[in-house]
Each structure stands twice: as C-alpha cells, then as structure tokens.
Amino acid sequence: MWTICKKELADHFSSTRFLILFCLILMVALVSTYMVATNIRQVLEGVSKPSNVFLLLFTTEGKFFSLVQFIAFFGPLLGIIMGFDAINRERQHRTLAKLVSQPIFRDAVINGKFLAGVITVSIALVSMMLLLTGMGLITVGVVPGWEEIGRLFVYLIVSIAYVSFWLGLAILFSILFRSLATSALAAVALWIFFSFFMGFASDLVADALSPVRNPRDPEEVVANQRVSDAASLVSPAVLYSKATSTILDPYRRSRGSVMIVGLLEKLSMERFQSPLPLDQSILVVWPYLTLLAALTLICFGLSYVIFMRQEIRSV
Amino acid sequence: MAAIIQTENLTRRYGRQVAVDGLTLEINEREIFGFLGPNGAGKTTTILMLLGLTEPTSGSARVLGYDPTRDPLEIKRQVGYLPENVGFYDDLTGRENLRFMAELNRLPEARITEKIEEALRTVGLNGEGDKLVGAYSRGMRQRLGIAELLIKDPKLLILDEPTLGLDPDGTNKMLDLIHALSRDRGITVMLSSHQLEQVQRICTRVGIMIKGKLVAVGTIEELAKRKLGEGGGMNLEEIYMRYFKEA
C-alpha cells in the first residue's frame, strides 16, 4: 500500500493540473484575505478591546466572498481533480491488470490512492492556512489567541475531511465509469448540484411536504423552513459550510439560518454577547460532523466493495 | 516431472454464456506450453482463473500447489503474468517502471538495483533503461514487460499473446528470449497465442481450445499423428484447422 501511495504522491505533486489548481486557489485566497485584512484594520481603529479578531480574517466577506466560502466552494474541485481518474486511468493505460497480478491485496490499490490524495490535500490546505496566517499577522497586526488557533485547527481538520469526501466520491466514479470524461463529468455534475441547486431542491421538497397555504401563518412558514433545512442536509456542501461557519464564529450558538451582519455591527454586537468556548461550538455542530464523516465512509466503502468484485479484464 | 498447473473440470460462466467449459489440464515443470485457440475461446478467462483474478463457477485449479481462489497472493508472488497488450506508466523511465514493480513485490532495497540491471540485460534493454517508456517501440515494450516479470524470479511465466502486433524481427527476438528463459533458468512457460508458426517453433506441448472446450492436448507430433495420420507432415496450422472445422 505504501508503495502505491508513494508513487501516487509523486504523481500528484508533479502533475500540472494539481499545480494549476493549487496556484489558482492560493492566489485567490491571498488576494481576498489581503483585502479583508486591510478592511479589518480600518474598522478596528474605532473599536476598543475587540476579541477574536483573527478569525474574522477568514470569515468576513471581502468584495465577493470570504475565504471560508471560497474553500467550501473550491475544495471539492481539488478532491475531484485528484480522484476522478484514479482507477480508470490504470484501466485505460492497461496497467491495472498488471497491478492486481502483483502480490498485493487488491484493496491496497484504492487505499493507497485514497491515502495519497488525502495527504496531498492536507499538505495543500495546511500550507495555505499557514501562509494566510502569516500574512494576517503582518497586515492586521493582531496575534491569535490559543482559542483561535484551536478553532482554525479544527476547521482545517474538517476541511480535509470534506475534501476527502469528494476525493472518495471521485474515486468511486473512476471505478464505476470506464471513460475518464464520464467520471469527471459525473463528479462535477454532483458538485454543481450540491453547491448551487441544493437550495432550490430543498425548497421544492419542503413545498411538497409541508406547503405554506397561508403566508401569514407563522407556524406554516416555520414548518416549511424546517423541512427545507432538513432536506438540504443531504448535501455535504451544506453540512460543511454550516459546520465550519459555527466553528469559526464563537458568537454563533445554534445551527439555525445565517444572519447577515456587517463587520462593524459584528464587532459592536460582541459587547452584548459572550463567545462560546471551542468545545461548545464543536458540540453544536457535532451532528453535522458525524454526518459528513459517515458520508465519506459510505463513499469509500462503496468503492471498496465494487472494486473488489469487479472483473479485471483489460479492455 | 511435477505438475506446475493442474485444473480439474474448471468452468466459468458469464450469465448463460459458458466462457470456459470443464477444462481439465496439466502443465509440467520446464515445459513451454502453447495455449491455442481463436479469439474469444476462453484462453484469457482461463489464465485469470489460474491467477485468482476471476473466480471459477465450478471445478478447481492448483498452481504451484496453491489454490488460486484461496491463496492468490502466494501464486502472484511466484508467477509472472504478462497481460495481453500490457501497459506501462509512460511518464516514467523503463528503470522507474521496473523499480515500482520491484517495490510492489517487496524486494529488499539492497537488491532492487542489481535485479533491475540483470532483468534489463536479459531482455536486451540495458541501453534504453533511462528512456521514458512512452518513447519505446512496441517490441521494446513487450520485452520490458518480460523484464518486469523476471524481477521476482518467477517459477512460472504466463504470457497472454506475447507476440501480438510485433514485426517479424521483434517476434523472433521475443521467441528467442522465451526459449532462452526456459532453457537456461528452467522456468515453466504457458503462452497463449493464435499465431501458429511461432508456437510450433518453441512450444514443447500444445492445447487447442475452441468455444471454451479443450479439444486437444499433446505434443505436436502426437496431434499430427492423430489428425493427419502417419506421414501426414507436422504442420500445426493444418492440425489446428481440422480441429477447428470439427468443432
């Protein structure tokens, strides 16, 4: 397994597509965080004793989006790019038959590939976070507390798990579909559905299950919204963004819908609220994290079962 | 002479279609066994079952004394299998491809380099080891495929259509190589093919498989006597066509 993992790692880091994607993500992340950082510095000038400023660096929306939103959006692409041709490329180059006729267990092939992907993702995300943290230290001039570092660390772990889910899904598609283009398309289609259309889909489900007949009746509206929220939890993208936004925002106490607040309002609101400690934040989103982990495991388990039973014919 | 491969009523069905039908076969040590038959006769399916890559529907097989369904790893450790149209990692050099295979076979690090050089020398590629495999000719690729097998010091080589698509010169080199391996190292070889002259040149015994059934096994002389009669010549092609028409 380690031999395959080692080779795949070498392949990932020398592959052009990984480099391009990583540079793209890194560039956008640096630029948007820099804009946010200068913004924060200006706002901070009139505020006394702000707390948890460092986290704002990652969660505040700059011109278009916050870093967290950006990663939630582009992270899956990283996973898909690394996994969509894992098995069918070997099939196409006729190396799969050779690989499985070596004295290794068949599952070592997918385990090695999955592990190599996870390691690559971890290296990419961790190095990016460190770069951004360094830049934040210089531009904002605020040193993060242990609590904030802890939150960022948990955020990183959850992000790696999230990208791993997409990696697992992409590997599953690479086993199911013989053609590279089909498996890439299938994975991207699912990604687009979960990131863009999940909102519409969950609204549809909600309207079908508990329709709002009278828009003035608060109970009906709430019931409708509840169903919609529950339905949208099918999407790993929703799970992930809800989980991480709570982890990175100590003032958020529930998993409920997001209120949109500006930076200044946020800072002034802090006076009237006390932040949740990290473990309580994690407790709030624990169900989401479990669900995310479960989805990843299901994906990987499915790949495993299918691959173990699949005929290894070249062609 | 000990039997290296032994099968007993080996059968594989895909749905209602029978790919291999009650195959009973024995291949002995140091033989070069030619496995003949038209495309789709079940040769590759048989080979996959011998390596434990496909489960037989019924019947049993023993390779080097191991059962392929229960002990596939032990068989894969000692048997070199060259798939039809074998592929390589084209963005790696010949040496790097060999190193990857050596590591998959858990060769001790100290012996890997030495083994790679020895294998390259045997197949006559020692000058091209550092070229990217993507730049290899077809003949070179097939020989690199054999080099990959030699790295694990196999007791048995199973070659699926090793000369398919090679030019006459490449074919000759390939056949000489297989013959030399059998003669000098005592490796047992089972090769499948439908190019009969080549098989006739190096094989000690042949089996003819048609529509999943093994219709004949024996040395070429034996089969010639059976089908063409005494003094009927020794042309494998003629023998094969007779069997083919009867089936």
- Chain A residues with CB inside 8 Å of B103's CB? 3, 6
Best A98, A311, A313 member to test B by mutation, with max B CBs in 10 Å, is: A98
Identify the CATH number of the domain in which residue B209 sits.
3.40.50.300
Q: In this structure, what DSSP letter does residue B134 have?
A: G
Nearest CB among B51, B74, B104 relative to A3 is that of: B104
Residue A261 pLDDT greater than 70, yes or no: no
Q: What's the pLDDT at A272? A: 62
Provide the token pair at B18.
Answer: 């029978």
Provide the token pair at B182.
Answer: 């059998």
Q: What is the pLDDT of residues B182-239, one digit of tens each?
A: 999 999 999 998 888 888 889 999 999 999 999 999 998 888 888 887 776 778 888 8
Residue A266 pLDDT greater than 70, yes or no: no
Which residues on adjacent β-strands are paired with residue B20? B12
Q: What is the pLDDT of residues B142-167, one digit of tens each?
A: 999 999 999 999 999 999 999 988 88
Q: Which stretch of A167-181, A234-248, B59-73, B105-119 has the lowest confidence by average pLDDT? A: A234-248
In a domain, A304, yes or no: yes
Residue A257 pLDDT greater than 60, yes or no: no
Average pLDDT value for chain B: 90
In a domain, B160, yes or no: yes
Q: Are A96 and A312 in contact (CB under 8 A)?
A: yes
In a domain, B245, yes or no: no
A100: nearest CA partner in chain B: B53
Q: N- to C-terminal Cα distance for chain A?
A: 25
Nearest CB among A6, A7, A101 relative to B76 is that of: A101
| Torsion B45-B48-B54-B60 (CA) sign | positive
Q: Where are the alpha helices (DSSP H) in chain B?
A: 43-50, 72-78, 94-104, 109-123, 138-150, 168-185, 196-202, 220-228, 236-246
Q: What is the pLDDT of residues B10-55, one digit of tens each?
A: 999 988 889 999 999 999 999 999 999 888 888 999 999 999 988 8
- Chain B residues with CB inside 8 Å of A93's CB? 87-90
Nearest CB among B51, B53, B89 relative to A95 is that of: B89
Q: What is the pLDDT of residues A118-165, one digit of tens each?
A: 999 999 999 998 998 888 888 887 788 888 888 889 999 999 999 999
Q: Which stretch of A262-266, B1-5, B207-211, B228-232 has the lowest confidence by average pLDDT? A: A262-266
Distance CA A192, CA A186 (A): 10
Best A9, A102, A107, A310 member to test B by mutation, with max B CBs in 10 Å, is: A102
A108 CA to chain B: closest CA distance, Å? 10
Nearest CB among B53, B84, B106 relative to A101 is that of: B53
Distance CA B244, CA B211 (A): 10
A89: nearest CA partner in chain B: B89
Distance CA B101, CA B94 (A): 11
Cα A58–chain centre separation: 14
The most distant pair of C-alpha atoms in chain A lies apart, rounded to whole Å, by 70
Interchain CB distance below 8 Å, B105 and A314: no
Q: What's the pLDDT at B95? A: 95
Residue A239's pLDDT band, with cuts at 50, 70 and 90, is confident
Report yes or no: A127 at the B interface, CB cutoff 8 Å.
no
Q: Give the range of the structural domain holding residue A155, as residue numbers without chain letter.
A: 2-309
Task: Give the dihedral of Cα atoms B92, B93, B94, B99; nearest 10 deg.
Answer: -70
Domain count, chain A: 1
In a domain, A58, yes or no: yes
Q: What's the pLDDT at B66? A: 93
Residue A53's pLDDT band, with cuts at 50, 70 and 90, is confident
Query: Which residue in A258, A267, A203 sits closest to A231, CA to CA?
Result: A203
- With H, G, I as helix, E, B as strand and everything else as coil, classify residue B204: coil
Interchain CB distance below 8 Å, B83 and A102: no
The percent of residues in chain A predicted with pLDDT above 90, rounded, is: 26
Nearest CB among B53, B74, B86 relative to A100 is that of: B53
Interchain CB distance below 8 Å, B86 and A97: yes
Q: How far is CA A197 from CA A76, A202, A216, B141, in A?
A: 15, 9, 27, 48
Radius of gyration of chain A (CA): 22
Q: What's the pLDDT at B144? A: 95
A96 CA to chain B: closest CA distance, Å? 8
In a domain, B246, yes or no: no
B151: nearest CA partner in chain A: A102
Residue A58 pLDDT greater than 70, yes or no: yes
Residue A63 pLDDT greater than 70, yes or no: no
In a domain, B235, yes or no: no
In a domain, B179, yes or no: yes
Q: What's the pLDDT at A48? A: 65
What is the helix (H) or strand (E) element at residue A156, kind and residue range? Answer: helix A146-176
Average pLDDT value for chain A: 84
Residue A315's pLDDT band, with cuts at 50, 70 and 90, is very low
Query: Which residue in A214, A245, A242 sits closest to A230, CA to CA?
Result: A242
Q: Is this complex scored with an ipTM above 0.95?
A: no
Q: Give the range of the structural domain holding residue B183, as residue numbers without chain letter.
A: 3-224
Interchain CB distance below 8 Å, B87 and A101: no
Distance CA B121, CA B135 (A): 19
Radius of gyration of chain B (CA): 18
Q: pTM for this one?
A: 0.87
Domain count, chain B: 1
Interchain CB distance below 8 Å, A103 and B76: yes
Residue B219: phi, psi to the nearest 5? -75, 165
Residue B98's pLDDT band, with cuts at 50, 70 and 90, is very high
In a domain, A314, yes or no: no
In a domain, B168, yes or no: yes
